[in-house]
Amino acid sequence: MGLLSALETRATSQVLGPPRDPVIAEWFGMGSRSSSGMSVTGDTAMKVTAVFRCVSLRAQTLASLPLTVERHIVATFAWGGAAPMPAHGDLPNGYYFRPEGDELFLMGPLHEEPNVDPDDYPESLADAEGADLAERVIRRVPALERAETRGGWASLYDVSPDWQPVIGEIAEGVFVDAGTSGHGFKLAPALGRHVADLVVGSGTDPGLEQFHPRRFEEERELDAGFGEARILG
């Protein structure tokens, strides 16, 4: 039997069933063409379905985490003739502040913000939002009364119930490192290696355990948060 007829037998035999290889199936006009143009046989369809099922289960596991999404603004200002001020946070007035290059300073709020749809939220700074931050800093530093608005932007905080990161294995082989609640940038160098150790399973730092999301079910939330403005920057 030649190679081609062997393949044809393989592809069409009732005994052997449909060919496993979609390319071979396509040669012999078998299988169905998917919207992406691939030929799909009963065999490969099972595999694809299994992958989607797996992705869907993973997504459900991740979606069960108690994380919310808040929109947070950043506003920039020119000094307006005032002497530059150092970076600071003002808890009573509810803002953080730092110089941005030589010409500008930037500010953001220290309080919680409403939840938003992460796929549909205003990414620009509204005039009233910039004005509100300006009022706050002028209460603390009257010399900034002549500061000039230079626009700003808004982005997202992924927020956990205690405003601390959520890190751990949440299902077999599924690791989460999220919920950094607006202060994950400074934590990244310290946490990066520990999170990598967790994923590859090599000698995890016991200090990471307190960040596992099971702390919310077990009512062992960490003692920190923006609620009472205990996190700055």
Q: Contact 229/110 with Cβ under 8 angstroms? A: yes
State in angstroms the smallest separation of the CB of 28 from ligand FAD. Answer: 38
Q: Which residue is nearest to ligand FAD (CB)?
A: 184
Q: Is the Cβ of residue 41 or residue 76 nearer to ligand FAD in the bound state?
A: 76
CA end-to-end span of the chain, whole Å? Answer: 74
State in angstroms the smallest separation of the CB of 170 from ligand FAD. Answer: 16
Q: Contact 68/83 with Cβ under 8 angstroms? A: no
Structure tokens at 38: 């691939």
Q: Is the Cβ of residue 20 or residue 98 nearer to ligand FAD in the bound state?
A: 98
What's the rounded Cα separation, in Å, for the pair 47 and 21?
12
Q: Contact 145/99 with Cβ under 8 angstroms? A: no
State in angstroms the smallest separation of the CB of 48 from ligand FAD. Answer: 20
Q: Is the Cβ of residue 57 or residue 143 nearer to ligand FAD in the bound state?
A: 57
State in angstroms the smallest separation of the CB of 229 from ligand FAD. Answer: 14
Q: Which residue has the tokens 């506003």?
A: 75
E strand or H helix at 177, and its extent? strand 174-178
State in angstroms the smallest separation of the CB of 162 from ligand FAD. Answer: 15
What's the rounded Cα separation, in Å, for the pair 23 and 62?
36
Q: Is the Cβ of residue 24 or residue 74 nearer to ligand FAD in the bound state?
A: 74
Q: How far is CA 213 from the centre of its chain?
A: 15
Residues that bind ligand FAD (CB under 6 A): 72, 74, 108, 155-157, 180, 182-186, 233
What's the rounded Cα separation, in Å, for the pair 136 and 117?
27
Q: Is the Cβ of residue 79 or residue 226 nearer to ligand FAD in the bound state?
A: 226
